[in-house]
Amino acid sequence: MRVVWILGDQLHVDHPALHRADRNHDRVLFIESRQRSQQVRYHQQKLVLIFSAMRHRAEALRAEGWKVDYVELTGRFSDALVDYIRQYRPDSVLVQEPSQFAFRQALPRLSRKLGVPVEILPTNQFLVAEKDFKAWAGQSRHLLMENHYRRVRKKLGILIEPDGKPTGGAWNFDSSNRETYAAFRKRGPKLPQPPRSDPDHVTRQVIALVKREFPDHPGDAADFWLPVTREESLRWLHDFIANRLNHFGPWEDMMVADEPVLFHSVLTPMLNIGLLSPRECVEAAVSAYKAGGAPLTSVEGFVRQIIGWREFINGVYWLRMPGYEELNELQAVRPLPSWVYTGETELNCLRHVLRQVIATGYNHHIQRLMVLGNFFLLGGFAPDAVLRWYTEMYVDAHDWVMAANVIGMVLHADGGFMATKPYAAGAGYIHKMSNYCGGCRYRPDQRTGPDACPFNFLYWNFYATHRERFATNPRVGMMIKTWDEKPSAEKAAILQQAKDFLESGSSDH
C-alpha cells in the first residue's frame, strides 16, 4: 500500500500522485499542521480557506471511492507522518513537490526520518515548468517579463493567429488599459455585485477552530467570504467571465474607496491552492473573446496576468532560490510601523487599503504595488519585515508568489533583476488613479509644508538617497536630473521633512 500525501495548496483534481495511485489499494492523507500554520501569523481567513478547502477536498475524494485519512489540527507534519506510518505501514509516500523552497529541500530528510521512501512528483500547477523557465533565463543578469510572456504565448498558441502574429496585431493593449478614476466618474460602467460565498457547516466549524486556536493572527475568520470547493470556485470563475472580464482591462489600475473588487477576478485564492487551474482560467477568458463576450483589451490583459506575470513570478522564485528572499540591495533597514496591522494612519490611501486587507485578506494589484508597496519602497522599510507582512496579510499569499513580487517588484531589493526601474511614484499617481486623496488630510499637490502628501517628499528623498545607483538608469535618469536641478532650499526642505516623517516612527501618521 502507498499513501498519497496531499498538501493544503495542492487540491487540484489533476494531482499527479492521484494519477499514479490506485484507489482500491492506496490511501490518501491530509494533515493540518499547527507548526506550518504558525510559520508567520497568517491572516485568519487564509487559514480558514486552506483548512476548509482541504476538508472539502477530502470529502470529495471519499465520495470518489478513495480511502482518505484526515489529521485535524496537530503539531508538525513530520510527527503526524511518523504516527501514520507506524499505524498503516505503507511501502512509500507519494507527494507532489511542495511550492515552498525550504519544504522541498526538507523532503529527503523527512524520508530518512520516516524510514520509507518519499517519492516526489513534479508539480503540474503551472503552465511553465521550472526547468523550461531556467533554460530560457540562462545566465541573464536581468529578465524581462514581456519576453517571457511572448515566448509562452507563442509556445502555448494563446491568442496567436495562424501566421504566428498576436491576435489583434499587438502583444499588449496597455495604453488602452490605464483608465483613471476621473474617467470612471465620467463614463465608467456600473460596478457589478462583488462575489461572495456563504460558509457551509464545515467552513463554520473551521471558522470556530481558527478563532479559537489562532486568535492573535490578523483579520477575523468570521468574515470569511471565499469559495472552498471546486464547484464554487468554478462558479466564481464563470461569474468573473460573465460580469467583470469585459471591463477588466481598461479599469484594472483604478482604485475606488470601499470597492475592493471592482472588475478584478479574485481568483488567486483558489488558483493558488489548486481549486482552479491557470489553463482553465485563460481558456475561459479566450473563449469569451471568441464568442464576442469580452473585448481583446480585457482578455489579453487578463491572459498577460496569468501566463505572463504569474508564471514569471514563479519562474523567478525557483531560478533565484535560495538566497533571493534575503536580498537587500538598497540596504533598507527601517522596521515597519505598528499601524500596518491596524490601518490607523492619516494617510487616507493607506488607511483604506490596510483596512480592506485586514477585513478581507485581499487587495487588488495596484493597491498592493502602488499604494502599499510604493510606501514601503519610498520609506526604506526592511525587506524581511515587508515580506513577512505581505505573507501574513493576504489570503492568496504563498512563498513562491511573495518573493519576486516583494523583493523584486516592490522593493527593488534584487538590484533590478526583474524590474528595470523601481515602481516609485509620488502622490500624483494615486490621485489620478483613485478617489483616496479627496478624503485625505494631506494635499497631493504639495511637496513640502504641513499639508504636503508624504508620498511626495518621500519620493524625492528616495531618489536623492539612491542618486548614484539610478543616475545612469535610462528609465529614471530624468528624475535624477530634475532632482539635481531643484533649488537647494527646496531640496533641503524635502530632505528634512522626509527625515522628520520617517524618524517620528511613521507610527503617529
Which residues here bind ligand FAD, judged by CB under 6 A? 264-268, 271-272, 302, 305-306, 309-310, 313, 364-365, 368-369, 373, 390, 394, 396-397, 401-402, 405-406, 409-410
Q: Which does 436 bind (CB under 5 to 8 A by kind): ligand FAD, ligand SF4, none?
A: ligand SF4
Cβ atoms of 37 and 117 closer than 8 Å: no
Which residue number, 349 or 393, has a Cβ lying nearer to ligand SF4? Answer: 349
Q: Which does 271 bind (CB under 5 to 8 A by kind): ligand FAD, ligand SF4, none?
A: ligand FAD
Number of H helices, E strands in the chain: 25, 5
- State the nearest-atom distance from the C-beta of 255 to ligand SF4, in Å: 10
341-370 residues near ligand SF4, rule: CB under 6 A: 347-349
Burial of 506 (0-12, 13-18, 19+ CB in 10 A): buried
* CA dihedral of residues 384, 387, 388, 394 (deg, nearest 10): 180
Of 84, 444, 460, 480, the one binding ligand SF4 (CB under 6 A) is 444
Separation of first and last alpha carbons in the chain: 60
If you count them, how many residues does the chain have? 509
Which residue number, 17 or 430, has a Cβ lying nearer to ligand SF4? Answer: 430
- State the nearest-atom distance from the C-beta of 258 to ligand SF4, in Å: 14
Task: Please report where in the chains the cell 481568483 appears, as a residue.
Answer: 267
90 forms part of the interface with ligand SF4 (CB under 6 A): no
Q: How many CB atoms lie within 10 A of CB 246?
A: 20
319 forms part of the interface with ligand SF4 (CB under 6 A): no
User: Is the dihedral angle over the CA atoms 126, 130, 132, 135 positive or is it negative?
Assistant: positive
- State the nearest-atom distance from the C-beta of 417 to ligand FAD, in Å: 15
Question: CA–CA separation, 84 vs 97, rounded Å?
Answer: 20
Q: Is the peptide bond before 108 cis (omega within 30 degrees of 0)?
A: no
Which residue number, 43 or 431, has a Cβ lying nearer to ligand SF4? Answer: 431
Q: Which does 426 bind (CB under 5 to 8 A by kind): ligand SF4, ligand FAD, none?
A: none
Q: Calculate the alpha carbon distances from 358 to 63, 344, 348 in Å.
A: 36, 12, 15
Residue nearest to ligand FAD as judged by C-beta position: 305
Question: CA–CA separation, 285 vs 413, rounded Å?
Answer: 34
453 forms part of the interface with ligand SF4 (CB under 6 A): yes
Of 133, 236, 317, 455, the one binding ligand SF4 (CB under 6 A) is 455
- State the nearest-atom distance from the C-beta of 447 to ligand SF4, in Å: 11
Interface with ligand SF4 (CB under 6 A) = 347-349, 427, 430-431, 436-437, 440, 442, 444, 453, 455
